[in-house]
Amino acid sequence: MRILLFEVDPVGQTSLTEALAHYHYQVNIAPDRQTGLEWAIAHSYELAVLNVPSSEGISLCRQLRDRGYEKLILLLAACDPNPDIIAGLDAGADDYIAGSCDISELMARIRALLRRREAAFIPAVLTWGDLCFNSASAEVTYRGQILSLTPKEYNLLELFLRNPQRIFSRSAIIDRLWSLDTLPTENAVTTHIKGLRQQLKIAGMPVDLIETVYGLGYRLKASPKNSTLAETSEEPSEKPILPTHPKFKIGLIDGDPSEENRAWLKNLQSAGVRWGFYFKQIANVNQAAIAIAKTPLDALLVNFNAPDFDENCFNELQELVAQFPNLPVLAFTEPDSWLDRIAISRLGGSQCLQKNQPTEHIIRAIANALPQNPVIEATVMAVNDDPLVLCELEHLLQPWGIRLVQLSDPQFFWSTLGETAPDLLILDLEMPGLRGIELCRAVRQDRKWGDLPMIAVTATPDTELIHQVFIAGVDDFVSKPIVGPELITRVVSRLDRVPLRYQLEQIRLKSVKQPLKEPLKEYQANLLLVDDQPNNLRTLTAILNGQGYKIRKATSGENA
């Protein structure tokens, strides 16, 4: 877990950091007050520890809450002779320690805060089969034997056990487990995961509990029945875990510090995740100019009704729009306020919104204001006998501009295929009366639809079945239960190649009409496979050799 530390005493800073690191907490030390405030909003911290004098801590606490920081805050005032505990708690602190406090009590208070923060209670002891993870004693055992893990291996294991079924890319793991001043390359993540796998294998674990999801990252494998894991939760304040294409960064200037407004912002962030929106909260217009200079925004939302939005803010906003004329600006105004509508029109804004409107309406207004070129316009045909799965697919794909044609009866497959002419097929391999692999072969052998991309869905993704699926002509596969981000990434990746396929087809047709001066020579594509798991390399090599590819292999990025 990540902790942000504000500390004025260099000696205290070192001792407190060492104590937190001993208990496997990842600590980032704010170099100064302003930078710390920016880090708190920009990154995912479970806790901010303010080890500063009482008056400064109360002021800093208010600033954190005013900027939208909603995680835990612990105030320490060990050296302050007159701590104002009531003012500190009223300023937004979750706990206040006045006077001296030993390390064991401090760690106990931090664990208690983190437990209370969870929407559902996460036990201190998590198990995966015979593997036992005890966060209270900071020990990991397998069948009673204590494992000697490095701090990073310990943190990796905790991350996966506390987030079952969630996929973490290597960059997301770095963001979670490394401090900002010691960011490694992504190869370091691969090395530490390999080390964790080896430690578990040495301890006698027969299966690898960490699964590599190709093109996405890593996740925890489905747990045995006797396991105790954390409940899967969706935290709206976290960065979206959807794929990065398409993904829009929306700036949000809203100086309303009320609890009601904070709840509304959390709801908006949660709704935006499905559309690929990441809402970046910005303190004021001046900060917006700095943020845009560092990372371009796709749109800007401004709350004209906020208590701190005045004429000076409006003038600064005019200068910002003049500096970035292509940036869409949307404003939250009072209903039927003609003055606000005139003001936003002077800014060249796209639309006036009201916070009492349905969240879906606001999200669609933002989507309409964005440039339309990144939106995918494609048709996907899904063949599945389970209507719940078809509804889930539609729910996942519709926000991405993808039209889903649903087919629950395979006997109407060919007629539906001809009527809809989809850009991609999603086929269930386990359907009554028909094997999905046979349907894949039939599509590949058809002269008209032989090049159509196909994704297979299966509940039993064993090595032999995957081998048969690829031999039958499937381009990709996903396993059940369907993980939304994984499915979307694979669908989008295949659809991105559709225009190229059409271009190649046009070139082929032209070459048929115009006789070639020289006969075409047989071409064999070269593929480089990089994987640190020998079994995976053997399986992929067998599959791709059967397709006529020339394979070269590497077990690490350095060898590649």
Per-residue confidence (pLDDT) for residue 349, from 0 to 100: 54
CA distance 162 to 229: 7
The answer to whether 50 touches 217, Cβ cutoff 8 Å, is no
- The residue-averaged pLDDT of 364-371 equals 77
Quick one: how many helices (H) and strands (E) in the chain?
Answer: 20, 25
Q: d(Cα 396, Cα 101) in Å, to the nearest integer?
A: 50
336 or 84, which is more confident: 84
Q: What is the pLDDT of residue 368?
A: 76
- Region 506-515 average pLDDT: 51
- What is the β-pairing status of strands 217-220 and 454-458? unpaired
**What per-residue confidence (pLDDT) applies to 299?**
85
10 Å CB burial of residue 499 (0-12, 13-18, 19+) is: exposed
Q: How far is CA 325 from CA 184, 289, 299, 504, 510, in A?
A: 37, 13, 11, 38, 44
| Rounded average pLDDT over 257-263 | 82
User: What is the DSSP annotation of 117-131?
Assistant: HSSSPPPSEEEETTE
Residue 119 confidence (pLDDT)? 41
CB distance 205 to 142 below 8 Å? yes
Decide whether 125-220 matches 248-369 in CATH topology. Answer: no
Closest CA to 18 of 96, 135, 106, 100: 106
- Arch. (CATH architecture) of 378-503: 3-Layer(aba) Sandwich (3.40)
Per-residue pLDDT, averaged over 324-331, amounts to: 81
DSSP 208: -
pLDDT digits (tens, 9 = 90+) for 199-238: 999 999 988 889 887 667 888 887 776 566 655 443 333 3
Domain 248-369 has CATH 3.40.50.2300: yes
Q: Are 381 and 405 in contact (CB under 8 A)?
A: yes
Domain ranges (residues) in the chain: 2-117, 125-220, 248-369, 378-503, 518-560
- Res. 122 pLDDT band, cuts 50 70 90: low
**Complete DSSP assignment for 424-488:** EEEEESEETTEEHHHHHHHHHH-TTTTT--EEEEES---HHHHHHHHHHT-SEEEESSPPHHHHH
Q: How confident is the model at residue 196 (pLDDT cuts 50, 70, 90)?
A: very high
pLDDT at 99: 66
Nearest CA to 474 among 486, 458, 462?
Answer: 458
Closest CA to 264 of 252, 276, 275: 252
- What pLDDT score was predicted for residue 321? 79
Residue 241 pLDDT > 50: no
Give 382's pLDDT tier (boundaries 50, 70, 90). very high
CATH 3.40.30.10 fits 2-117, yes or no: no
Instruction: Determine the residue type at 90.
Output: D
Nearest to 426 by CA among 394, 384, 370, 469: 384
**pLDDT class of 375 with cuts at 50, 70, 90:** very low
Q: What's the rounded Cα separation, in Å, for the pair 413 and 425?
A: 11
Selection from 509, 355, 544, 385 nearest residue 459 by Cα: 385
Share the mean pLDDT of the chain: 77
Q: Is the model's pLDDT at 331 over the cut of 90?
A: no
Q: Is the pLDDT assigned to residue 426 strictly greater than 90?
A: yes
Residue 370 predicted with pLDDT over 70: yes
Scanning the structure block, which residue is given the tokens 């031999």?
A: 471
Pick the CATH number of 125-220 from 3.90.1170.50, 1.10.10.10, 3.40.630.10, 3.10.20.30: 1.10.10.10
| Model pLDDT for residues 159-169, shown as the tens digit of each residue | 888 887 778 88
Task: Specify the range with the lowest mean pLDDT, choosing from 195-204, 375-384, 422-431.
Answer: 375-384
Strands of 139-142's sheet in order across: 125-128, 131-134, 139-142, 145-146
pLDDT at 520: 40
Helix (H) or strand (E) holding 41: helix 33-42
> How far is it, in rounded angstroms, from Cα 476 to Cα 456?
6
